[in-house]
Amino acid sequence: MGHTRPPLLVVCALPVERFALRRGVARSTADHPVTVLHTGMGPKAAEGAVAQALKDPALHGASVLTTGFCAGLAPGMRPGDVVVSDDGHESAALAAALKTALQDGPRRRYPAVHTGTLAESDHVVRGAERSALAATGAIAVDMESAAMRRAALAAGACRIAAARVVVDTPEFELVRVGTLRTGIIAFRVLRDLVPAFLDWHRTTTLPRR
């Protein structure tokens, strides 16, 4: 008796993020459908694109994973660190899959996996505003994850998670000369997260009969 696995929708905002994710998918040996959706930048674009995508019958029952780059807020974070949002019951399983892939396997040269609050902003955060967000307890900030989550919840998605790669920190802000280097680090990490995303999806969904 055959069975199929519910699809995985991986959502990002920027073309460079989509490129990294597609590179990762191409390298993988996924045995189930994976759709990479590029929404465009900002909460409004992200929410609208996810809502529209989840109307597709091919994505019925899909797990939704939002990803891409973010700004780190917590002291000691470094470009390339991974942040898993603790908003939802899927965070522990996703963090475990990422830690196994990045810290226990051949990629252990990569930095830490953090779990905590991922703040929402409608613009790039720098300087004093970054400090103010950190004071709320958030460990990172981005413009799209919360909006993507709202759209997925409204569409009835059961499994939703968010994991972001730190591209800048208080010590390594985007306006500095190291931007290109930190961007390359974040790109490579995001690409190499794809097998862990697939493992998370594989272990948190049951095949349909």
Take residue 173 and report the two structure tokens written for it: 């802000």
Residue with the bigger pLDDT between 179 and 181: it is: 181
Q: What is the largest CA-CA distance in the chain?
A: 59
Average pLDDT over residues 59-66: 92
pLDDT band at 130 (very low <50, low <70, confident <90, very high): confident
Q: Which CATH architecture has domain 8-204?
A: 3-Layer(aba) Sandwich (3.40)
Rounded Cα gap, residues 125 and 168, in angstroms? 10
Highest mean pLDDT: which range of 41-50, 72-81, 104-113: 41-50
pLDDT band at 10 (very low <50, low <70, confident <90, very high): very high
pTM greater than 0.75: yes
pLDDT tens digits for 135-173? 999 999 999 999 999 999 999 888 999 999 999 887 766
pLDDT value, residue 144? 94
pLDDT value, residue 174? 62
Average pLDDT over residues 31-59: 92
Residue with the bigger pLDDT between 185 and 21: it is: 21
How many residues make up the chain in this entry? 209
Average pLDDT over residues 118-139: 89
Q: How far is CA 64 from the centre of its chain?
A: 10
pLDDT value, residue 1? 39
Average pLDDT over residues 79-103: 87
pLDDT band at 205 (very low <50, low <70, confident <90, very high): low
Domain locations in the chain? 8-204
Rounded Cα gap, residues 70 and 77, in angstroms? 12
The per-residue pLDDT of the chain, averaged, comes to 85
pLDDT value, residue 168? 86
Q: Burial, 96: exposed, middle or buried (Cβ in 10 Å; 0-12, 13-18, 19+)?
A: middle
**Can you give the three-state secondary structure of the chain, one letter per residue?**
CCCECCCEEEEECCHHHHHHHHHHHHHCCCCCCEEEEECCCCHHHHHHHHHHHCCCHHHCCCEEEEEEEEEECCCCCCCCCEEEECCCCCHHHHHHHHHHHHHHCCCCCCCCEEEECEEECCCCCCHHHHHHHHHCCCCEEECCHHHHHHHHHHCCCCCEEEEEEEEEECCECCCCCCHHHHHHHHHHHHHHHHHHHHHHHHHHCCCEC
**Pairing verdict, β 118-120 and 140-142:** parallel
